[in-house]
Structure 1
Amino acid sequence: MISIKDLSKVFQTKDQEVRAVDDLSLTIDKGEIFGVIGYSGAGKSTFIRLLNRLEDPTGGNISVDDQDLTAMNKNQLRIARQEIGMIFQHFNLLWSRTVFDNIAFPLEIAGVSKQERKNRVNELIDLVGLSGRGNSYPSQLSGGQKQRVGIARALANNPKVLLCDEATSALDPETTDSILDLLVDINEKLGLTIVLITHEMHVIRKICHQVAVMEDGRIVEQGDVLDVFLHPKQKVTKRFVDQVMGDPEKEHSLQLINDKYQTGEILRLHFVGERTNQALISDVSRKFEVDVNILHGKITQTQKGAYGTMFVQFVGEKNEIDRAVQYIESTSVEVEVSPSV
């Protein structure tokens, strides 16, 4: 659906060149919710603006549905952009227009007839959950409602791709979740390909199928969201995973436990899918002569299933602990022995 090859963007400042996007290649499948995550300055905002050529690339190619956007002239690009919707962090609404007229605006530009515009706008107002608010102005709406208008406007021309530029960053957590639920609903109902950028791993965890991690203009890690949660390879990725699964006091807590007890072994257990719902710890306590102390644990949900992690302390004879670990591994739960701290 979207093919990106050797994409780069260099900005020339007074003193130096800034390589915001550096030789980036990526493939995004049709109907996928694809997340790009990175900290400030990673290049992700530039990247998403390159996808519809709000920024012109310095080098490389971008193809959407087998159309090479980088080879298009202005007229061709204007037509192609009708198939690429975009929503923004700060909504970018026209404050002098009503909800209805904001959503209708791209249809006016496209030359759609008045009756068709009316039908389409009313359909979109219902789709995004704004029934009865068509005559309201942006100043009369909450942040979540404004973003729903932005989403409806982006969908006006029946695009094949929806780009989301930090679409929930200006919203509170509860409103963020409602907007993310709406995006999932739109993806499923319309088969829309969604590309979103964010610095929040909660957003990736909740709705994305695939994720790419950006740092210094490059993709440093990429994969299925559940796989990335389970096996983050890069330091920056581990920091993002810890946003959702981590505990900033965890290492300090483990240090205190080791200092206090200085016995047994501390294990990190990874649970995936149905294993998160099984009473593994009680099974181990019944089957083996080990004392089990639960130190830290958390379960979260991704689009591909549940993922849990738990730190436990096993106290007992070494051979009995080893047998217990072998039993846990036989259940497909991953076991990582924490080094002494």
Structure 2
Amino acid sequence: MISLKEVSKRFITKQGEIVAVDNVNLDIQRGEIFGIIGYSGAGKSTLIRLLNGLEKPSVGQIVVNGQEITSINEEKLRGFRQKVSMIFQHFNLLWSRTVAENIAFPLEIAGVPKDKRKARVEELLNLVGLEGRGDSYPSQLSGGQKQRVGIARALANGPEVLLCDEATSALDPETTDSILDLLVSINEKLGLTIVLITHEMQVIQKICNRVAVMENGQVVEEGDVLEVFQKPQQAITKRFVSQISDSNQPVQTIQKLVQLYPNGKLVKLVFVGETTEQPILSRLIKQFDLEVNIVQGNISHTKSGAFGTLILQIDGNDQAVEDAIQFIHSQKVNTEVINND
């Protein structure tokens, strides 16, 4: 659906050349929700602007739905943008227009007759849960409602791709969840390909099928969300994953845990998918003559399945401890020994 091959974007400034996107290769499948995560300055906003032709790459090729967009003329680019819509962090609504008029605006530009515009607007109001609010003005809406207007407007011309530029960053957690649920619903109902950029791993966790992690203009890690959660490779990815691991409870540092639990071995267990539902701990206690203490743990849920971590203190006969660790391995649970006392 979307393919980027060796794409780079450079800007010339008074301070010199800035490489905002550096040799990025990506393939995004039709109908998936693909996340691009990175901290400020990582290049993700420039990357998403490349996807709808607002910026042209310095080098490389971008293909969207079979159309190579890096060299098409302005007229074709305008037609292309009707099929690739965008929603923004700060909504970008026309404050002097009603909700219905905001949603109808791209239809006006496209030359859609008035009666068809009205019918389409009503359809979209229902889709985003704003029935009866067509005559309201943006100033009369909550942040979540404003974003729903932005989503409806972006869907007006029946796009094939929806780009989301930090679309939930200005919203409170509860409203964020409702907007993410709406995006999932739209993705499923319309078969829409959604590409979203964010600096919040919770957003990736909740709705994305796959994720690309950006740092210094480069994609440093990419994969299925559950796989990235299970085995983050890069330091920055581990930081993002820790946003989820640390969100549910206070987590002690490894050094602190070693100090607090000096006896036996501290073992970190990583559960993925169906293994999160297995009674492994009770089997461990029944089968081996050991003292097993739960030090800390949590379970998070992604679109692809559950992901959990558990740190145990296992104390007892050395051989029994080793046998217990091998038993855990046999249950398809990744393990890591934190200390070897």
Superposed pair shares fold, TM > 0.5:
yes
TM-score in terms of structure 2 length: 0.97
1:226-241 to 2 correspondences below 5 Å: 226-241=226-241
Root-mean-square deviation (Å) = 1.4
Q: In the alignment, residue 255 of structure 1 is paired with which amino acid?
A: Q
Look up the match of 1:250.
251
Q: 1:261 to 1:95 in 2, by over 3 A?
A: closer
CA contact (8 A) 2:98 2:135 kept: yes
TM superposition shift of 1:262: 2.1
- Consecutive unaligned residues of structure 1, counting only runs of 5 or more, are none
Distance 1:257 1:20 in 2: 40
Residue type matched to 2:145 in 1? Q
Question: Cα offset for 1:261?
Answer: 4.2
Rounded Cα–Cα distance in structure 2 between residues aligned with 1:339 and 1:161: 48
Q: CA deviation at 1:209?
A: 0.4
Report the CA distance shift for 1:35/1:257 in structure 2 as closer, same or farther (over 3 A): closer
Q: Distance in 2 between matches of 1:89 and 1:208?
A: 18
Give, in whole Å, the separation in 1 of the partners of 2:234 and 2:256: 27
The C-alpha deviation readout for 1:158-199, integer Å capped at 9, x for no partner, is: 000000000000000000000000000000000000000000
After TM superposition, give the deviation of residue 56 of structure 1 in Å.
Answer: 2.2
Write out aligned runs for 1:207-286 (5 A): 207-246=207-246, 250-252=251-253, 254-286=254-286
Check 1:258–1:24 CA distance in 2 against 1; reply closer, same or farther (3 A cut): closer
State whether residues 288 and 324 of structure 2, in contact with CA within 8 Å, keep that contact through their aligned partners in structure 1.
yes
Residue 116, structure 1, aligned to residue 116, structure 2: yes
**Matches of 2:258 and 2:245 in 1, distance apart?**
22
- Paired residue for 2:32? 32
The count of residues paired between Structure 1 and Structure 2 equals: 340
The amino acid across from 1:5 in the alignment is K
Residue identity matched to 2:251: K
CA deviation after TM superposition for structure 1 residue 126, in Å: 0.3
Q: For residue 25 of structure 1, report the CA deviation from its aligned partner.
A: 1.2
Percentage identity across aligned positions?
61
Which residues of 2 match residues 1-341 of structure 1 at below 5 A? 1-246=1-246, 250-252=251-253, 254-339=254-339
Compared CA separation, residues 291 and 62, structure 1 to 2 (3 A):
same
Using the alignment, how far apart are the partners of 1:98 and 1:261 within structure 2? 62
Once the two structures are superposed, what CA deviation does each residue of 1:24-73 show, in whole Å capped at 9, x if it has no partner? 11110000100000000000001101111112221211111111111111
Query: Structure 1 counterpart of 2:5, which letter?
Result: K
Report if aligned partners of 1:128, 1:148 keep a CA contact under 8 Å in 2.
yes
Runs of 5+ in structure 2 lacking a partner? none
Partners of 1:258 and 1:340 within 8 A in 2 = no
In structure 1, how many angstroms separate the alpha carbons of the residues matched to 2:288 and 2:257? 22
Cα distance change on mapping 1:167 and 1:319 into 2, 3 Å: same
CA distance in 2, matches of 1:312, 1:246: 17
For residues 233-279 of structure 1, give each alpha carbon's deviation from its aligned partner in whole angstroms, at most 9, with x where no partner exists.
Answer: 00000000000013796343x43443344211000101111221222
Cα separation, partners in 2 of 1:256 and 1:245, compared to 1, 3 Å: closer
- Contact 2:325 2:335 (C-alpha < 8 Å) held by counterparts: yes
Distance change (3 Å), C-alpha of 1:13 and 1:108: same
SS at match of 1:259: helix
Q: Distance in 2 between matches of 1:324 and 1:129?
A: 52
Note closer, same or farther for the CA distance 1:83–1:279 as it changes in structure 2 (3 Å cut). Answer: same
Q: 1:22 to 1:255 in 2, by over 3 A?
A: closer
Q: SS in structure 2 opposite 1:70?
A: coil
Alpha-carbon distance in structure 2 between the residues aligned to 1:215 and 1:190? 32
Letter in 2 for 1:114: K
